[in-house]
Structure 1
Amino acid sequence: MAGAAFSVEQQIKQLDDARKLVLKDANHYPQIVQGILPIIGPSARVELRRWGADFLAETFSSPTVPAQQKETLSLIVLETIKAMIENPQEDNAVIKSIVQTAASIYPLVVRWIINNSYDGPTWERMLAIKTRILRIWDSAVSGVRICCIKFAQRVVLVQTVGPDADPRRGDPLEVSLTMIPQNHPLLLPRNLEAESSGLLDRMLGIFQESISDAVLVDATLNSLSILIRARPHVANRILNVILNFNPLKQANSPMTPKLRVMVKSMEKTTRLLLMHVNKRDPQNPLAGRIQQYVERMMRSRNEIFDEASRKRGPPEPIDGLDAAKRQKLGAQMPIAIPKFYVPPLTLGPHTIAELFTVTTDEGLKAFDVAQLSEELVVKIGITILQKLDAGVLNQAVEGVRQRYNSLKTAQPELLNPATAPLGIDEDDDDYEPDFYNAEDTEQILNKLDNAPPEEPKAKAPNMALGHFTLPPPPPLTTEQVTQIGQGTVSRVFGVMQTLEEPGKKPKAGVNRLAASAYDRDAWITIITRLATRATAGLEEGSDVVQVESKDPATLSLSNTIRESLYLYILEDFRKRIDIAVAWLCEEWYNDKVQMTLGAESVFHYEKWVLKVLDGILPYLDARDKVLTRFLSEIPGLSLDVLARVKSLCRDPAMVNLALTSLLYLVIMRPPVREIALDAVEDIWNTYEDAKPIAAKYLTKWRPGFADRLKDNDNEKKTNGVTPIAA
């Protein structure tokens, strides 16, 4: 047992090290997530399952992981999540984290299904997870029920009609019912909207029941605040239910310390939610009811919980007269006007801005209003003037007037140098001249003769500032250069997510300039040429195609862009196959140019065309036409490429796709006709399931194959091999 415990501790320590790695660099999330799934499965120890569930919840809620990467990872972890949550003996801590993970990935899976309607198994797994969560909602412990409320809120957000998405914002998580087409085979908008309405009623039902669990009530209120803001068409429905809810109703029962804390918590959460709604939208039709509800709730709270005021009576007035005695005394209460102090200006010259600046906040003084637009300044000024007290405004104006008057009176009187007294200290007010007899000329000459010789005055040091130059910055290390390059590439690909998809506007034709418009095609052209032409001729030569190192410190900018392009294409290769073709055409062209120059260079086309092909082949469907289009449009075909196509025939369902793609090459690309027919013949010799179709194509396009086929049949008969029907 000690050995087993030590083994689990060692595994958890290694998992913690992996978590620290991904927290430093989010690019490692795909490898780590795929690596831990076999370790944290339903058959693993409970410590490992808890760690794995917490890690998955943290991964899909992390803002550092891109939305596209989260969508890909969500498809990978669905099976593990389904197996863990369907385990009836599962630990509550594991279920809690799994429900949080499901709440995070539900919009991602729905968006995937919207764009890939053929993927029925993925949607069935998500439905099984959702059904299980909604079933355990009412019977689980409080911690799990809070997570179930969050999951229900996310389902309602996805399955209700949302506002029109702003393409400039590019919010990747904004998924709503408006994105689902009416003829979608898996997602029926009418059924999804009905389900979301039922879930919303189930969430609001907690306010109509006698539930004293403040934790669940507060969790529901916090979830509803997001629905009120994001789905305005259901906001009134939610607010009407909340306005009929009385969180102080249970204060009538015997008040225990626990009940006191719970009632206070529910009342505060409800009040803050309604105050926030009014603050966000003061013109909403329920603003009056909300204000009355909040005031009534505050009065009721004071009556119930403010025991000190009930025992000691109302507080005595401190300043002024009591309002209840005004009619008897006939006195007027003084109106308290806030004292607004405008500090006087210091001595010396001042600018107009300093004259009219009445604030003492150094941060506000340093703010440059010129950075704001004119329209925003006008709106802010109108709002301030509407809410500004007249007394405060008058005090500020009077303060500026006093400043101006002090500046006028503080102008110093200029002295005439011709009549000004010499050697007299103006500050010596107590000076009284001594009256002596004036010296004659002989006495003055004697004093001058006896006076010591004047020493030459020392020259004042030169205090002028010399030419100042900032020291050069320290040189960047290889790792820093690599990180900066990767960040630049990530930002460039982030811009592509917000640009217009191809086909939504007319093309400029074949005579257009490359990258002449700010659209997705222009960015693709820029990125592909940065990858292929930026460092052309600068790489180390070799006679063969080299494979770059995986060490980040040795990856060049071009290879970083290539890796990012490869991952970007594989995220949705059916829609981005045109990007793959454009990129590979640039790679092929660059390799040909390097060959003509006679320089020894690294050739990239063959490597990346095989890598792209290996990436899309496992995900092809028998009805896909992507492979045919890819093979017909890439500029160069080699035996290795055709070998990848032949490997598809290992799956009998993919035989027709492979042979059809090769037949298209035979018909439409005569230069590669012979090697394509060789590949078909190799398929005929290797795979039994492909022989009928391959023989049909070879009989038509390869003369003499029919005679060889007959000779082969005759040879088999001679050797005693006959068909079973004979």
Structure 2
Amino acid sequence: MSAEEVIQGLSQVRGMLSTQPDTFPQVIQAVCGMASTTPHLEVQQWCSKFFVDTFSSEFTLVPWSTKQNSLASLLPVLMTLSSVKDVYVYKNVVLTSTCVYDMAFDLVAKVSNQSIWNDMTALKTKIIQDWDTTYPLTPSNDDTDKFKSIGSRLASTKFISKVIVVQSAPLQSSDPRRRATSASNEISINQVHPNHTVLNKLALDVEAQKLLDTITSYLQAEEYLVPQVLIAIIETLVCIIQRRKQFIPKVFQAIASLDLDSKYQQSKDKFIKFKLMKRFVERAIKNALNYCMKAGLITPQLPQNGTFQTMVSSIDARMAEQRKKGILTELPGEKARRKIKVDPKNPFPRDATTVEDNSYTSLYQLIDETNPLLDFDASLIPQETLANIAIATIASVDTNKLITALSIVSARYTDLITKAGGSVLKQEVKDEDLKDDDLDNERILNANDDFNLESTFVLPEPKPFTEEQKKRHLQLIINNFFDLSKLPANHKSISSFNVQNEQVATSVKVADVAINEWGKNSWLLLLSRLATRGIASEDHELGDLIREAIYQYFVDNIHERIDVAIEWLNEEWFTEVTTNSSSDDTSRALVETPTYLKWAEKVLDSVIPFLESNDRKIFIRLLSDLPFLNAHLVSQIKSLCIDPQRSALGFQSLQFLILFRPPVKQACIEILRDLYENNEDLKTTTASLLKKYDTEFKPVDEPKSTEDSQHTAQSKSKETTAESEASKD
């Protein structure tokens, strides 16, 4: 049978669970049998996802005890699937193991099933051993290994946290009234009898301590900045100390010792990406510490309390300064803290084989940008001394190192020649060549043929530009426009243009000309129309070159250049609507505008990650002035609503769109519905908004405490304020 046929049959079997939950044991037996014998990767992926869905705590159709009874069939299959070299399958195996580990522990503690515990222990050992590796991917033995199999490593981190919690004991409450109920429903090592025949209580507790040491030491021991893993470990540690408060000193000591400036940057990453990665980790640290302070985990008596207060304030200060100056601006000392690990086989920090420009620095520089030698002026040294230094250096340098350096420079020179169209150096004209030309002219004049000096000479037609030449010349035009945008209004180039316009008689002026007088954003209008109505009509790729330049200019400072993005995107939309619409079109909303949608999505993608809670006016203005919005563009606001630090901005934006942009009202309501159904933390806020704007909304009836009622009242008050502020914008 083909993979599609097998998956179709398994899907039918799965459908039985929704109507006949009592068939769970038979369904598990069927899926386990297929997962352990099928040669199709697609089927293995389907089965692994099925195990995650059915054994998670969210799948409540089947009782806990019924799932426990299926572990004997499930665990050997998980061990088999863990050897499949596929990231999706392995990640689902680890997530399933996380779901069933407390089940297996509880079952073995009660019935002493040695076989189940052996299978669970083998699976646990494999996951822990493969945690900080590239498994199931093949290692490359370079710094890229640290950034492979991220999904699997995050799932393994979650599994390790579950093992630590289960294999350690919760602290007994000092209040005797709470002592009986504090851990009565929690599976832990307290369930294990000291003389248990299968579970060694002391060994399990020691293993939990070692696993905690493993993930806490990662924060300092890992050389590279791997943001996903660091953030996952920090959030996992917070969850652990909530349930096991005896680990608070060790966890907070590890977080306080975390030094992001000591982490290496991946060699192939750009510095801007490294800065963003570092910013995400700092935001996660700040959120975790703020949460611990509110939850009472960080108290004034804690030794690290002062350190954490300093960390949060310094992170806030850096983010505020970066927000003012732009993400591309280097803060004081930031460049000096940048670290790139040098490959021993290639000991040159700057080993790129391509050139950024035609400067000598781009061609010959092999040292790091932070090296103080870059600021040294070698022209101050006499030429004879420089010659002696060069000779002595070449005589003593390692041959392999010299060959490597020459190879890098040679590759750069080849790249420079290629980009320059095959000619870099101008040939010098010698006097002998001029004399030869004179003799040739004299021979032509004295020739006894029908040569006529008065005959009409027609210049040959120029050769058409190649695509590469078109791009190079267009880039020069774009650069000239950006240079012109930096000139002051009283510069002679701009003032002469305006003076010439003033001298033109009013009767001969064109009424509908786009630019009568050169202003601050005149260059943007020219570039936008060149991209949308000029070059784009002939060559879309060249138009994208201009669009990318405008986009990069906007990204450099999104807070002060929001007008640039709005004016440009309005030009894009207007041009596409007028070009693609016909006389039969009754609505402009039906006209396809793929170019506008593509670049509008890129603009939102670049704006949303850098927005702060006080950027409401900027963001709502962008949403109000964009000429067209659809459900896909609006869906990007969802990430703002989920972020605890910026959720108010996200909900204010959705309210504004619901009130003032009716075409996307339903899309906004769908976002609120999704948040209401899938995010418990936002349920109160989304419910109040849905009651107001969604006539079909039916809230889930749940008893509310006095505290919940107060929270709902506060939320409604905030919504009323948000509506009034949105109407002002």
Q: TM-score range by the shorter chain?
A: 0.3 to 0.5
Higher radius of gyration, 1 or 2:
1
Could you say which structure has the higher helix fraction?
A: 2
